[in-house]
Amino acid sequence: MLAVTDLKKSFVSPDGERVDIVNVPGFSLGAGEQLALRGESGSGKTTFLNLIAGILAADSGQVAIDGQEMTALSESKRDRMRADKLGYIFQTFNLLQGFTVIENVVLGMSFGPGGADRDHARRTLQRVGLGHRLDHFPHQLSTGQQQRVAVARALANRPRLVLADEPTGNLDRKHAREALALIREVSKEVGSALLLVSHDEEVLQQFDLRRDFADINKVAVVARASSGPAT
Amino acid sequence: MALPLIIYRSLRQHLLSTIVTAGGIALACGLLMCVWVVKTQSQTTFTQTTSGFDAVLGARGSKLQLVLNAIFHMEASPGNVAPTDFEQVRRLPMVKAAIPIAVGDNLRGYRIVGTIPTLFEQIEYAPGKMFAVQPGGKLFALEGREAVAGSFAAEKLGLKVGDRFNPYHGLAFDPQNKHADEFVVSGILQPTNTPADRVIWIPLRGVQTMAGHDPKAANDISAVLVQLRSQAAGPMLDMMYNKQGNRLTFAWPVAAIIAELFGKISWFDQVLALVAYLVAVVAAGSVLASIYNSMSARRRDLAILRALGARRRTIFGAVVAEAACIGALGATLGFGIYFALLVGVAKVIRAQTGVVLDVTARHPVLWICPVAMIILCALGGVVPAFKAYRTPVAETLAPVS
Q: Measured between alpha carbons, how far is A192 from A189 in angstroms, rounded to an integer?
A: 8
A80/B311 CB distance under 8 A: yes
Q: What would the pLDDT profile of B270-304 be if each residue is shown by its tens digit?
A: 887 788 788 888 888 888 888 888 887 788 888 99
Sign of CA pseudo-dihedral A195, A188, A155, A183: negative
Distance from CA of B394 to the nearest CA of A (A): 6
Answer with the residue of higher pLDDT: A41 or B116: B116
Select the residue of B6, B313, B394 nearest A230 (Cβ to Cβ).
B394
- Give Cβ neighbours of residue B329 (< 8 Å, ≥ 6 apart): B18, B22, B25
Nearest CA among A199, A220, A211 for reference residue A27: A211
Q: What is the pLDDT of residue A190?
A: 85
B9/A98 CB distance under 8 A: yes
B312/A75 CB distance under 8 A: yes
Average pLDDT, chain B: 90
Q: Measured between alpha carbons, how far is B223 from B201 in angstroms, rounded to an integer?
A: 15
B311/A115 CB distance under 8 A: no
Q: Measured between alpha carbons, how far is B308 from B386 in angstroms, rounded to an integer?
A: 19
Mean pLDDT for A23-39 is 93
Q: What is the pLDDT of residue A172?
A: 82
Nearest CA among A34, A110, A45 for reference residue A79: A110
B311/A76 CB distance under 8 A: yes
- Give Cβ neighbours of residue A110 (< 8 Å, ≥ 6 apart): A116, B1, B2, B5
Distance from CA of A209 to the nearest CA of B (A): 24
Q: Measured between alpha carbons, how far is B382 from B392 in angstroms, rounded to an integer?
A: 18
B-chain residues within 8 Å CB-CB of A82?
Answer: 307-309
Q: Which segments of A86-192 does DSSP mark as H helices, in order?
A: 101-110, 118-127, 143-155, 173-190
CA angle B186, B188, B189 (to 5 degrees): 130
Distance from CA of B10 to the nearest CA of A (A): 8
B308/A91 CB distance under 8 A: no
Q: What would the pLDDT profile of B205-257 be if each residue is shown by its tens digit?
A: 998 888 888 878 788 999 999 999 998 999 999 999 999 988 999 999 998 99
Q: What would the pLDDT profile of A129-140 be if each residue is shown by its tens digit?
A: 899 999 999 999
Measured in degrees and rounded to the nearest 5, phi and psi for residue A24 equal -110, 105
SS3 B96: strand
Q: What is the pLDDT of residue A59?
A: 92
Q: Is residue A103 part of a domain?
A: yes
For residue B175, pLDDT over 70 is answered with: yes
Answer with the residue of higher pLDDT: A108 or A223: A108
B-chain residues within 8 Å CB-CB of A99?
Answer: 5, 9
Task: Residue A133: give the domain boundaries.
Answer: 32-59+73-211
Residue A122's domain is classified under what CATH number?
A: 3.40.50.300
B308/A47 CB distance under 8 A: no
A-chain residues within 8 Å CB-CB of B317?
Answer: none
Distance from CA of A182 to the nearest CA of B (A): 20
Nearest CA among A66, A5, A4 for reference residue A191: A66
Q: What is the pLDDT of residue B78?
A: 87
A107/B309 CB distance under 8 A: no
A91/B401 CB distance under 8 A: yes
Q: What would the pLDDT profile of A40-90 be if each residue is shown by its tens digit?
A: 888 888 899 999 999 888 999 999 998 889 888 888 888 889 999 999 998
Residues 162-191 of A with CB under 8 A from B: 165
For residue B77, pLDDT over 80 is answered with: yes
For residue B1, pLDDT over 70 is answered with: no
- Interface contacts (A, B; CB < 8 Å): 93
Q: Chain B residues within 8 A (CB-CB) of chain A?
A: 1-2, 5-6, 9-10, 12-13, 300-301, 304-314, 393-395, 397-401
Question: In B183-285, which ranges are E strands?
Answer: 183-188, 200-203, 223-228, 248-251
Cis peptide before B127 (omega within 30 of 0): no
Residues 85-104 of A with CB under 8 A from B: 86, 88, 90-92, 94-99, 103
SS3 B285: helix
- C-alpha distances (whole Å) from A25 to each of A59, A151, B295 are 13, 30, 39
For residue A222, pLDDT over 70 is answered with: no
Select the residue of B1, B301, B313 nearest A116 (Cβ to Cβ).
B1
B9/A84 CB distance under 8 A: no
For residue B90, pLDDT over 60 is answered with: yes
Q: Is residue A64 part of a domain?
A: no
B-chain residues within 8 Å CB-CB of A135?
Answer: none
A94/B307 CB distance under 8 A: yes
Please, which pLDDT band fits residue A225 given cuts at 50, 70 and 90?
very low
B1/A112 CB distance under 8 A: no
Q: What is the pLDDT of residue A34?
A: 95
B-chain residues within 8 Å CB-CB of A105?
Answer: none
Q: Is residue A20 part of a domain?
A: no
For residue B399, pLDDT over 90 is answered with: no
Q: What is the pLDDT of residue B28?
A: 87
Residue B386: how many other CB atoms lie within 10 Å: 13
Q: Measured between alpha carbons, how far is A10 from A19 in angstroms, rounded to an integer?
A: 5
Select the residue of A96, A103, A116 nearest B301 (Cβ to Cβ).
A96
SS3 A135: coil
Q: Is residue A155 part of a domain?
A: yes
B401/A94 CB distance under 8 A: yes
Question: What ipTM is given for this predicted complex?
Answer: 0.85
Select the residue of A79, A90, A107 nearest B311 (Cβ to Cβ).
A79
Q: What percent of chain B clears pLDDT 90, i.e. is strictly above it? A: 56
Q: What percent of chain B clears pLDDT 70, i.e. is strictly above it? A: 99
A96/B309 CB distance under 8 A: no
Residues 69-88 of A with CB under 8 A from B: 75-76, 79-80, 82-84, 86, 88
B-chain residues within 8 Å CB-CB of A165?
Answer: 401
Nearest CA among B300, B284, B295 for reference residue B319: B295
Number of domains in chain A: 1
Q: Measured between alpha carbons, how far is A144 from A136 in angstroms, rounded to an integer?
A: 14
CB of A110 less than 8 A from some CB of B: yes
Q: What is the pLDDT of residue A231?
A: 45
For residue B361, pLDDT over 80 is answered with: yes
Q: What is the pLDDT of residue A221?
A: 53
Q: What would the pLDDT profile of B237-249 be if each residue is shown by its tens digit?
A: 999 999 998 899 9
Q: Is residue A136 part of a domain?
A: yes
Neighbouring-strand partners of residue B188: B149
Please, which pLDDT band fits residue B401 given cuts at 50, 70 and 90?
very low
Select the residue of A47, A103, A108 nearest B308 (Cβ to Cβ).
A108
Mean pLDDT for B61-66 is 92
Q: Is residue A220 part of a domain?
A: no
Q: Is residue A13 part of a domain?
A: no
**A82 → chain B, closest CA residue:** B309
Domain ranges of chain B: 2-46+265-400, 55-252
